[in-house]
Structures are given as structure tokens and as C-alpha cells.
Copies of this chain bind each other. A is one copy, B any other.
Amino acid sequence: MKLLEEHIVKDGTVLPGNIVKVDSFLNHQIDPQLMDAIADEFYRLFGDKKITKIITVEASGIAIAIMTAKRFGVPALFAKKARSANIDSDLYTSAVKSYTYGNVYTITASKQYLNNQDHVLIVDDFLAMGSALTGLIDIVRQSGATIEGVGVCIEKAFQPGGKHIRDMGLPLQSLAMIESISEDGQITFVPQKEEK
């Protein structure tokens, strides 16, 4: 998605450790016009599937999920990060390792809002090691729902998360795929077949 790649190059910054900071438009301050375009693109990619719910995890996936949900005309559902050790029996749960913070946290979603009749599109802002997405996939599988697609805004293609998810046989689409980051912070994207 050209527009997103342009935003990353123009407004993103590369920090030591190949961290791509996009908090001016994607995950702290959020540009609603870009969100609209992202939702349109997910609809272009997955709109032919029978989708009943858009799933993400808090916090930075929520804006993407609600805008995509609006585009598809279905509810959004965001998995929550558990704040206590007491997990209700009416929750699906999965453990997620955070490489940024070096800890493991639990994400949860209510069994009330996800079941084996659902056909879901999972969305998130970033895909690097893939641990948050793997947790979401785990939760959706517990529910028996069908995963119709996984849509990610920015994939770091030089990290293993994307391969891991594609190897599960899931239709993963990343709107911008970072192939490499040079030592002086220059970003190279994987050329996309169908660009918009």
C-alpha cells in the first residue's frame, strides 16, 4: 500500500535496534484519513470473504479494528491484556511474550462474543516476532471460529513472525512489508504485487 509506505518513510523514524517508530500517525497519534485508507485496503483484500467480526488486541490495534469493522459493517472485538491473575472461566486466554518489554502477559476475550459460527478477520498494527498475533490466533481457534484472514499494517519481513503465520496456512496480508533497514536508517520495502 503505497500511501502507508510513504507515511512510514516521511513520518516514521528508525531507532537503534531496528525499531520503526510510527507513533506520529499509527499507534499514539492516529491519522483518521490513513485509517480510512487502511480499512478500504483490508476490504479490497478480504471483502469477498464472509466476515462476521474484526478481532485485534489492545491497545494499538483498536483504531484499525474499529475503522475496518465499520468498513465491513460488522462488530470489532479487542482482546484485553489481563490486569489480574484471576481469570474468569467465561474468557478465552492466551499467553503472549513481549519482546519489547521482556515479559509474558495474558490476553483475554469473552466467550460471549466469539464462537464457532464466527468468521473473523484478525488485524493489528505491527508484525515482527508475531507473538501478539499468535496469541490472537490461539484465542480464535479456542472459540472454534474460522479465521478468514490476517491483516497487518506493517510487517518487518526480516523477522520470523510473518513466515510463522503463513506456515500455519493462514492468509496473511501486510500492507507495508519492510525488507530491510540500513545502518543509517534507510527503509527498503518488499515490492508488492498489487499496489494501490
User: Which A residues lie at the B interface, using CB under 8 A?
Assistant: 23-25, 28-33, 35-36, 58-59, 62-63, 65-67, 69-70, 73-78, 80, 83-84, 101, 109-110, 112-113
Contacts and interface: CB of A to CB of B under 8 A. Distances in A.
Dominant secondary structure of chain A at its interface with chain B: mixed
Contact of A23 (B76, B101, B110): B110
Contacts of A109: 28
23 contacts: A24-B112, A24-B113, A28-B77, A28-B109, A28-B110, A28-B113, A29-B113, A30-B66, A32-B69, A32-B70, A32-B73, A32-B76, A35-B66, A35-B70, A36-B70, A58-B59, A58-B62, A62-B62, A62-B63, A62-B66, A63-B65, A66-B66, A66-B67
Given A29-B113, A32-B73, A78 B59 contact: yes
Contact of A75 (B32, B62, B69, B70): B32
A119 B30 CA distance: 16
Contacts of A101: 83-84
Contacts of A32: 66, 69-70, 73-76
A23 B80 CA distance: 11
A11 to B, nearest CB: 11
A137 B183 CA distance: 40
Given A23-B110, A110-B23, A112-B24, A31 B62 contact: no
A77 B35 contact: no
A66 B69 contact: no
Contacts of A70: 32-33, 35-36, 67
